[in-house]
Structure 1
Amino acid sequence: MADDMDGADSDLVAGERRVDLMHALSFVSTESGPDGEYIVNGDLPPEVAPPFIRAIMRVEAELLLHDAELVTVGNEEPRTPDERRTDAFVALVLRIDDRS
């Protein structure tokens, strides 16, 4: 159970160990783009990438299910796949940082 305080599952984020995700984030950097936006760069080593990719995919799946509930005849998909992927990345980073 994810809420157990005595085992390896006690500190999971999106199904992955927080420590593994924090290690993966150490390979991610940002830079300012020409229009004031941030560009996120990451070159994760093969042994570091899988937990991070799985976690982002899980969060993206949550967002996709939420978006599916918002689709109606007059309202198309509320965000593009690229927007959803970006939102998933931001949500994952916030979850990794949230230790409450």
Structure 2
Amino acid sequence: MFGDLMGMMGKLKEAQQKIEATKKQLDHVLIDEQSNDGLLKVTLTANRTIKSIEVDASLLGDKDQLEDYLVLVINKAITRATQINEAELAAVAKEGMPNLPGMDQFR
């Protein structure tokens, strides 16, 4: 039994290392999102760090419209990044989990 426990602990440590490596890789996965008319573009990582914002000059004259565009497009980009982030981390975590009794319901 003790050997099984040590094996499980090793697998958990390995799974944690894979999760950390995946988190670092997600810093390099870029998500591009833009407004329907293409006047505002946002790029962020799958870890939800904004990398760039491009604003068409026509939006610069209307502060309220620009703010609305920013909120809308950034929220869409964050939603996509979160979906990618969660899917990738869940896949790595599931793959690396040892077979623990009673945990089959979570697989």
TM-score scaled to structure 1, two decimals? 0.33
Choose between structure 1 and 2 for higher RCO, CA contacts under 8 A separated by at least 6 residues.
Answer: 2
Q: Which has the larger radius of gyration?
A: 2
Q: Greater share of helix residues, 1 or 2?
A: 2
